[in-house]
Structure 1
């Protein structure tokens, strides 16, 4: 066995403890799929990212695991991985652009350097609705007790699959108690159910909650891929357009206060970003 550099980060966090924890393992070559999956399961964080040498055209390669599966893409691991590469000096300190290689392809990264340190944003894979015959009874059970918003529930895929549903009122969404068994039973091999409502936090246009009981988490603290999918759904519905940007609040129901920054570029691609806080620095032997 060999020691590898390790970071534990708080992603989408304006202060330590506000965001979503992420395990980052550097120099993961030599770990096979089973070893990566077993470590992610042992950590039991929402995601663990393993950094590897990239192919030409990228600055780093990231493999992303939940405790039960590998993902083509996920938001907070991608933002955290880019921050970690900068923090470790794997690229020049002043870099303002990078490219991430992951199973979803090559994803551009932008870095803004300000008083809070590097502020990372990443262009997410193009999201699309999944053609799947709706399970009306299953969705009704999963959404029971929520006042519906204008957007019809649908399954979206941007390298991670999420059922998306709009809620008419932020207070109703914040106070809602989910039926986790009904959410876990939803079809489509989704990570879970992501809900959004009008924003009720200053600077945040939307309030978001995401539930992924099939992966061992009743509620995810802050979810980049789900927020990106929501933006894509609103763009497709004509409620967002190129050049728009907004903030989303997520995590207060589980004791966090995450903030996700979203924008739509001129090509209609969704970028997500936010602040990252380092919490643990050390080494791992696995």
Structure 2
């Protein structure tokens, strides 16, 4: 269980990103062994196993220090990147089994030293919160309605439910602070796995900024959350903030943590109907000595 590869996923100009330990061959690993890796490094961790049937090239599992997750976008991208770098990909289009459902991975090996990876996510579902639920979210983050755009707070999901909170400015967004216990209690009451406040940076260029306060991962904030960015893309579409086309949507995250990250989302349509999206971003290896292993969230 010592062959752990460390990568930063969703880096911006070679820096930032979300650190992720990856085991590219976790065959036979027990659950507590996988969870121990997440506890050791303090990050979402990805584990590659054989698929359960011929329908899948691989099965991926994901753990945070406190529990297993059904899906993790950046760990999926990181695992495919590590497999490509190790020369272990079976094809450039792969079917991946996850506990949230099948995922298709697309790997471009034009530059073998830096493979480009995108993964599929299903069409998102977006639901406005009730007035009472909105008040719950505002109280949790010490906000008032004056801090928000004239748009609803929404629960959106592709693989996991995230709560989208439309902030008036990036300054207000990056001034937020969270309390882990209050965030967990709020998310439990509104059926969410994380609060995802966002702000418009450049609407014409489809650039946005966001932060992720997870429900119960064991740390207060994520530097980059691909699944949340995918859910946000469908919220932006619902609210008329992005076009009904496949132009890249860029979501920056992690600025307040000193780890600015960049996530790309491309929506897909059939006859003007959204049918899913592709999620991608840059990956960089991390030198092991750069990470301080321990029970707390690692600096990035």
TM-score scaled by length of structure 2: 0.82
23-32 or 141-150, which moves further after superposition? 141-150
- Structure with greater proportional strand content: 1
Alignment correspondent of 2:101: 105
Cα distance in 2 for residues equivalent to 1:81 and 1:130: 31
Query: Which consecutive unaligned segments of at least 5 residues does structure 2 have?
Result: 290-300
Change (3 A) 1:131 1:197: closer
- Match of 2:199, SS state, is strand
Instruction: Please show how residues 60-139 of structure 1 align to structure 2 within 5 Å.
Output: 60-91=58-89, 95-113=91-109, 117-129=114-126, 134-139=132-137
- Match of 2:76, SS state, is helix
Residues 7 and 78 in structure 2, CA contact (< 8 A), matched pair in contact too? yes
Cα distance in 2 for residues equivalent to 1:209 and 1:263: 20
Q: Deviations over 1:144-196 (max 9, x none)?
A: 33611233112223222222111111121122333444322212453321111
- Match of 2:77, SS state, is helix
Of the three residues 260, 266, 271, the one matched with 2:278 is 271
Q: CA RMSD in A?
A: 2.7
Change (3 A) 1:256 1:204: farther
Query: Which consecutive unaligned segments of at least 5 residues does structure 1 have?
Result: none
Residues 201 and 249 in structure 1, CA contact (< 8 A), matched pair in contact too? no
- Match of 2:221, SS state, is strand
Alignment correspondent of 1:208: 210
Instruction: Please show how residues 1-286 of structure 1 align to structure 2 within 5 Å.
Output: 3=1, 5-15=3-13, 17-45=15-43, 47-54=44-51, 55-91=53-89, 95-113=91-109, 117-129=114-126, 134-145=132-143, 147-186=147-186, 187-199=189-201, 205-212=207-214, 214-240=216-242, 241-267=244-270, 268=274, 269-280=276-287
Deviation at 1:232, TM superposition (A): 1.4
Change (3 A) 1:52 1:208: same
Cα distance in 1 for residues equivalent to 2:92 and 2:225: 24
Deviation at 1:43, TM superposition (A): 2.4
Cα distance in 2 for residues equivalent to 1:211 and 1:82: 26
Deviation at 1:280, TM superposition (A): 4.1
Residues 8 and 286 in structure 2, CA contact (< 8 A), matched pair in contact too? yes
Residues 127 and 158 in structure 1, CA contact (< 8 A), matched pair in contact too? yes
Change (3 A) 1:197 1:14: closer
Cα distance in 1 for residues equivalent to 2:287 and 2:204: 30
Change (3 A) 1:16 1:234: closer
Deviation at 1:279, TM superposition (A): 1.4
